Amino acid sequence: MARTPDYFQGKTIAVTGASSGLGRSAAVIFAREGANVVCGDVDETGGAETVRLVEAEGSEAAFIRTDVTRREDVRRFVAEGIGQFGAIDFLFNSAGSALRRCGFLEIDDTLFDKSFDLNVKGTFYGMQEVLPHMLERGSGTIVNVASMAHKRGGPGTSVHYASSKGAVVTMTMGVAREFAGRGIRCLSISPAAVNTAFQASSGTSSEMSERLMQDIPMKRNAEPDEIGELVLFLCSDACQFMTADTVYVSGGGGFR
């Protein structure tokens, strides 16, 4: 939570991957605190539902169809968000996926390229497009989604994904340090498995899910709202000395 009452009231967050999972959760949580939400995703049906949920919290929302692998889409997403709400105070780069689980020798050029286009370029585009606006205003907070996978390497299932999330951690650190003196904070979060559609969409088997859970001392996955509340905290005025870090949300496991 924020240190200042009503800190988020009237401020605006832009969220990629807002149609489901972590993106939707963060959108609704920020709306609960009075923030406007710019929702970006390729899933228009899910995006409309997120807008409905945000508005049910009493906040304003806009959905802009956005493929984060296309710079022109991300540029429009940022520009239309600023046009509708006057400013973007926070950016949550939530869009991402492992796409397909497989062993290292099964990773082909297409899977590798798509992984980096979505997870790395999508984050890169979001930051590059919103930073000039934030720098002009002298303030802004960016939170990127990394993963515990970057600590583990994804052996046997997702080296392509783990590598891309390692790049997100590094890029976050570089951006944070470059612009720390100009009012910008940039952080990443590195969750273990979260109960979202991510697992099924990447072909995570029930056996694999069980193995991953056995490495978590709490013996469960995270819930989306547990990540969304962390994003809210990181964007608040309660931790303004934090930047460049990745915050591990692991239930105590996933480090080996």
Which sequence positions are flagged as catalytic? 161
Q: Is 38 helix (H, G, I), strand (E, B) or coil?
A: strand
CA 166 to chain centroid: 14
**Distance in angstroms (rounded) separating the CA atoms of residues 249 and 84:** 34
Place of tokens 């990443």: 188
Do the Cβ atoms of 91 and 130 come closer than 8 Å? yes
Say which amino acid occupies 66. T
Q: What is the CA radius of gyration of the chain?
A: 17
Q: Which of left, alpha, beta for 140 (phi over 0: left; psi -120 to 50: alpha)?
A: left
**Angle between helical axes of 21-32 and 44-56 (0-180°, round to 10):** 20
Q: 149: closest CA among 141, 136, 158, 140?
A: 158
**Distance in angstroms (rounded) separating the CA atoms of residues 38 and 150:** 29
Q: 64: closest CA among 107, 6, 12, 105?
A: 12
